[in-house]
Amino acid sequence: MGVTEPLLLAVVVATALAFDFTNGFHDTGNAMATSIATRALKPKAAVILSASLNMAGAFLSLTVAATIATGIVDSGVVTLAVVLAGLAGGIVWNLITWLFGLPSSSSHALIGGVVGAVLAAAGTEGVLWSGLTSKVLIPALVAPVVAILVGTIATWLVARITRDVPQDTNDKAFRWGQIGSASLVSLAHGTNDAQKSMGIILLALIAGGAVPADSGVPFWVIVSCALAMALGTYMGGWRVIRTLGKGLVELESRQGMAAETSSAAVILLSSHFGYSLSTTHVATGSILGSGVGMKGASVRWSVAGRMFAAWLITVPSAAIVGAVFYWIDTVIGGVAGSYTVFGLLIVIAFLIYLWSRRKPINSKNVNDNLGPRTGLRGVHRRVRLRAPSRGDEGQAQAPEKGAEAPPPPAAGGGGPDRERGSRGGGPRTGDYS
């Protein structure tokens, strides 16, 4: 390697760890959103627990890392500039979807960025299409469907078994169960997602000549990726947690436990076979299944539709960003081009962060009711209010018999929206970010 190449290799490795960091806070909600929403765990305790188990899971398997390093693109056409551009594409897409609270796939963002950079560098021959199809695209389509089915069945079974148990008893018992099931999802997430950055760093080390082409993942890479993901997980990613925990389904503790257990089972099975599965797709599918499987539950399909749309465009969008970054690199040329890409990535990330501060979401408000017009803070979610008719103007709306009365509307007007309960839809809300 030349005089400046070791520094460039260090920049690429640092960028890969930065992606692992964004993966951590982007995907925290996969494991902990339901536990936080049902208050089985306090928000800060949840992310600390998830971070610890994510780090532990990173040491349990390297099968997925091998898939990323050798099964998606031809390592012979991969250079440090290609890896850097691909990582930049994945990071930018992760940050954009986090900003809008959309739980899209970090895995597919990374793969899309790398594929886009390889296409820009070497054309279609640089992509192993059979591996991309069998290891990424097919699992992307199958995983959410399987998770919805498993989550639906698990929730139906739990609801049937506990149908005669008082609600308060169910809540207390299943909140303890949720701690165990959420921990299992975090461990499973570490066995799958941490491996992806390991595979990318291995590609960079091979491209930079630091290790031979048939090398395994060095131990220092495993440790670095585990720590980066754990740190990102600890940061929370509260926007995505809010969408998964409060935006899709109004969850009871038994639904949360069924969803988390279903997610863990599907993720661990995929890690065993080396599939680069999106834990986000699985977790979201399981949560939707928990709504479908619980009689009377309300699923907000409009929010799910936004998420599905983001899933469809994740790979091509990240690929476009990766290709653009590689084009910038080649236009400037040489090592200066790669450093320019790195600098642009820092600027874009900082601007997205500043934008996010306009409407911050954190551990203190992550469980607030969504949208500016719900007006239902502090009200037990089983209270149902009918929409006022014209003849009701100026009259107080009475709650159902035995239900806790709602608080008066806040100053400035605007009453509570109607909660549709078992008829579906849920309360109308504004921004889920």
**What's the pLDDT tens digit per position in 59-107?**
876 666 556 666 778 877 888 899 899 999 999 999 999 998 888 888 8
Highest mean pLDDT among 51-55, 249-253, 318-322: 318-322
Q: Between these two residues, 395 and 248, which has the higher pLDDT value? A: 248
Q: Nearest 5°: CA angle at 22, between 20 and 24? A: 70
pLDDT of residue 61: 65
Proportion of the chain above pLDDT 90, given as a percent: 20
Measured CA to CA, the distance from residue 360 to residue 377 in angstroms comes to 18
Q: Which two tokens stand for residue 44?
A: 């800060």
Q: What is the pLDDT confidence band of residue 375, given thresholds at 50, 70 and 90?
A: very low
pLDDT of residue 204: 84
Give the pLDDT confidence of 22-36 residue by residue, as tens digits. Answer: 988 888 777 788 888
Q: Which two tokens stand for residue 115?
A: 């594929």
pLDDT of residue 427: 40
- Predicted structure pTM score: 0.75
- Say if residue 235 is exposed, middle or buried (CB neighbours under 10 Å; 0-12, 13-18, 19+): middle
pLDDT of residue 397: 46
Contact at 8 Å (CB) between 143 and 266? yes
Q: Is the pLDDT of residue 321 over 90?
A: yes
Among candidates 57, 36, 260, 21, which has minimal Cα distance to 151? Answer: 260
pLDDT of residue 431: 41
Give the pLDDT confidence of 154-212 residue by residue, as tens digits. Answer: 999 988 888 888 888 878 888 888 888 888 888 877 877 777 788 888 888 887 888 88
Among candidates 90, 20, 22, 28, which has minimal Cα distance to 58? Answer: 20
Average pLDDT, the chain: 78
Q: Between these two residues, 147 and 250, which has the higher pLDDT value? A: 147
pLDDT of residue 79: 86
Q: Is the pLDDT of residue 114 over 80?
A: yes
- Say if residue 166 is exposed, middle or buried (CB neighbours under 10 Å; 0-12, 13-18, 19+): exposed
Bridge partners for 127 per DSSP: 73
- Say if residue 341 is exposed, middle or buried (CB neighbours under 10 Å; 0-12, 13-18, 19+): buried
* Strand ranges in 261-374 using DSSP code E only, listed in sequence order: none
3-state DSSP assignment of residue 81: helix
